[in-house]
């Protein structure tokens, strides 16, 4: 019986030491929370603000790349919808939020093939597999 009473007294602790141990438990969690804010949350919010500013700065005629990797020229906007010309007389409609970046043609980036680009291969691995099954 004495051991049970002794264990309960040790578990409850004295009044002065329990305040120090509670601070000792809370302090590491507070430090982790502050670290997560500065390492994860704040940089992500900054990237979101930059992406939103980029999407709002896109104008008709700009060459862009979408989040799916499609290159094209912006031909018009209808609210949050952008019309992108991906080839001659071929336009697609995308959400403004799907614009990932503006292609900087002053640096030589372009989605339009140049003369030095190699021609596309005549067959693809998918075509070869379909031909082998026949």
Question: pLDDT tens digits, residue range 59-103?
Answer: 999 999 999 999 999 999 999 999 999 999 999 999 999 999 998
Write out the CATH class of domain 59-112. mainly beta
CA atoms of 8 and 3, how far apart (whole Å): 9
pLDDT tens digits for range 1-46:
555 555 555 555 544 445 568 888 899 999 999 999 999 999 999 9
pTM > 0.95: no
| Spatial distance between the Cα atoms of 59 and 100, rounded to a whole number of angstroms | 14
End-to-end CA distance of the chain: 86
Torsion of CA 8, 10, 12, 16, to 10 degrees: 160
CB contact at 8 A, 66 and 104: no
CA–CA distance, 79 with 20 (Å, rounded to integer): 58
**Extents of the domains making up the chain:** 19-57, 59-112
């Amino acid at each position: 019986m004495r051991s049970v009473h002794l264990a309960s007294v040790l578990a409850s602790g004295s009044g002065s030491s329990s305040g120090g141990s509670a601070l000792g438990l809370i302090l590491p969690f507070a430090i982790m929370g502050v670290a997560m804010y500065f390492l994860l949350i704040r940089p992500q919010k900054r990237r979101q603000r930059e992406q939103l500013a980029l999407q709002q700065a896109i104008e008709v005629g700009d060459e862009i790349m979408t989040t799916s990797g499609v290159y094209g020229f912006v031909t018009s906007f209808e609210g949050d919808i952008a019309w992108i010309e991906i080839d001659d007389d071929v336009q697609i409609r995308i959400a403004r939020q799907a614009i990932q970046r503006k292609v900087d043609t002053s640096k030589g980036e372009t989605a339009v093939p140049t003369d030095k680009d190699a021609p596309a291969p005549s067959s693809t691995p998918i075509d070869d597999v379909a031909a082998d099954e026949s």
